[in-house]
Amino acid sequence: MQLFGVDIGGTGIKGAPVDLDRGDLAQERHKVLTPQPATPEGVAGCVVEVVRHFDWDGPVGVTFPGVVTGGTIRTAANMDPGWIGVEAADRLSQRLGGRPVTVLNDADAAGVAEMAYGAGKGRGGTVMMLTLGTGIGSALFTDGHLVANTELGHLELKGHDAEKRASVKAKEDQDLSWERWARRLQKYLEHVEMLFSPDLFILGGGVSRKPEKFLPLIEGIRAEIVPAVLQNNAGIVGAAMAARTSAPR
């Protein structure tokens, strides 16, 4: 079975058809840059561009970097504030010619995909998926059940949102070495571990392609730490999984 997933990020919007039997992209993903400012109208246009690139005509799942309840956007830390209160599922469905659209938090989507097909498959207990990119997204699972919209990138760390210190964007903007960034990431993981005592951390986002650069530098965390198997495609796969709710049986 194939369904379509779109992953909206602070810097890029990417999507592809997904083979849900394999949990992998059915075609090479198509990516466009996130417009700046990332307004609802501008981002919606990019989503349409990604979907039309594949001539897709069916249900679409879409991730959003913020709290999403019932298809409505509640927070938009790394996007234009005009998103707050927007019924995104309805708006994107209209822009896509009435195709059914399901919208969910981006890290939740990535986590659901990793639990089904990747590093969390078959794992019980408490699992914490963290997506490291423009910000830090989080997805919390207890015995395989998702606790939605945790948004733990906004925990306070040294007087700042944690993602302002330990995201990949912070590493790039502040020209941090892998060693310095790993120390910041370790402090963040220590804080999350104190609060939730996970059995497993799954680290995703684009940086998961380079685990050898930073994972050996992280010490003192009791939980197992592994890179995401689906890497930066996890959000697309999770979005397509969410689209099943509106797919014909």
The string of pLDDT tens digits covering residues 5-54 is: 999 999 999 999 999 999 999 999 999 999 999 999 999 999 999 999 99
Which residue from 193, 187, 191, 185 is spatially nearest to 227, judged by alpha carbons?
Answer: 185
**Residues 228, 39, 246, CA angle at the centre, nearest 5°?**
60
Pair 194, 210: CB distance under 8 Å:
no
**Alpha-carbon gap, residue 46 to 32, rounded angstroms:** 7
**Alpha-carbon gap, residue 187 to 164, rounded angstroms:** 13
- pLDDT at site 142: 98
Same domain for 193 and 98?
A: no
Please tell me the total count of domains within the chain: 2
pTM over 0.85: yes
Same domain for 103 and 190?
A: no
For residue 246, pLDDT over 90 is answered with: no
Q: Per residue in 41-88, pLDDT tens? A: 999 999 999 999 999 999 999 999 999 999 999 999 999 999 999 999
Same domain for 55 and 125?
A: no
**Alpha-carbon gap, residue 187 to 169, rounded angstroms:** 17
- pLDDT at site 245: 80
Same domain for 81 and 129?
A: no
pLDDT band at residue 249 using 50, 70 and 90 as cut-offs: low
Same domain for 118 and 209?
A: yes
Same domain for 216 and 117?
A: yes
- pLDDT at site 113: 98
Same domain for 21 and 78?
A: yes
Q: What long-range pairs does 11-14 form, CB within 8 A, spacing at least 24?
A: 11/133, 11/134, 11/169, 13/43, 13/46, 13/47, 13/50, 14/50, 14/236
SS3 104: strand
Same domain for 145 and 216?
A: yes
Q: Are strands 12-19 and 2-8 parallel, antiparallel or unpaired?
A: antiparallel
Same domain for 72 and 165?
A: no
**Alpha-carbon gap, residue 163 to 188, rounded angstroms:** 9
Same domain for 48 and 123?
A: no
Q: How far apart are the first and last CA of the chain?
A: 11
59 is in which domain, residue-wise? 2-108+234-246
Lowest mean pLDDT among 11-20, 45-54, 90-99, 153-162: 153-162
Same domain for 17 and 92?
A: yes
Same domain for 48 and 117?
A: no
Find the CATH number of the domain harbouring 60: 3.30.420.40
